Each structure stands twice: as C-alpha cells, then as structure tokens.
Amino acid sequence: MTASILTVDDSPSLRMAIRIALTGAGYRVTEAGDGVEGLAKAGAEKFDMIVTDLNMPNMDGLTMIRVLRAQPSQAGVPIIFLTTESDADMKAQAKNAGATGWLVKPFVPDQLIKVARKVLGR
C-alpha cells in the first residue's frame, strides 16, 4: 500500500517541490496551505506522515502539531518540520510539541525522501 503524506506550507512552489520529490519516490501527497487547512485535512483523512512549515498565516506549524497531538487518532503519525528556522530553542519547542524530526530549508529532495523512508519504514 502506498504511504500517504500531508504537506503543509504556505508557499505553493515549495509544496510543489515537496510533492515532486515524494511522489517520485512513490508516495501519495496531499497539500494544505496553512495549519488550519492542514488540521482539516488531517481530520478528514488518515495520513502516514505529515510534513509542515513553521511560519504560516492563520495557524503556525507548532500550534498545528500541538492540536494534532491532542487527538488520539494522530498520536503515532510522524510529523516532520521543514522550515528555515534552525534555532535550538525552536527545535526544543517543536520536539516538546510532538514533532518527530526537523529539516532545514532549502531542503535537498533526497534528504526528505530518506527521512520519509526512515520514519515510515518503507
């Protein structure tokens, strides 16, 4: 079965780059433009992994992760931060909120695929 990944980022060009990388590796990708849309999509469908930006309008990635982690159905879903932030304090906040991993933009497609394979086990 093909793994399903939700990508949440306010940049259409970045969402496209993520989709190209992940679909090329055989994953199914659904896109959302901010945390509010990401929460709605995560609530409507089961995803095997979520990739989210930190800084977005309407709802940032940290808030979205906290809300997702409060839902039992989302407890085991790996969530990867893909952001320009590399601050140690922000990484600690993300980890405390429930983020599984952290990638810094600009991302290398092979690196994202490697992380996806590692956390999904396929």
Task: Quote the longest CA-to-CA distance of the chain.
Answer: 37
CB atoms near residue 10 (< 10 Å) = 17
What is this structure's pTM?
Answer: 0.94
pLDDT, average across residues 47-56: 94
Residue 30 pairs in a beta bridge with: 6
Residue 68, pLDDT > 80, answer: yes
Residue 96, pLDDT > 90, answer: yes
CA distance 31 to 38: 8
Position 25 scores a pLDDT of 95
When pLDDT is cut at 50, 70 and 90, the band that residue 105 belongs to is confident
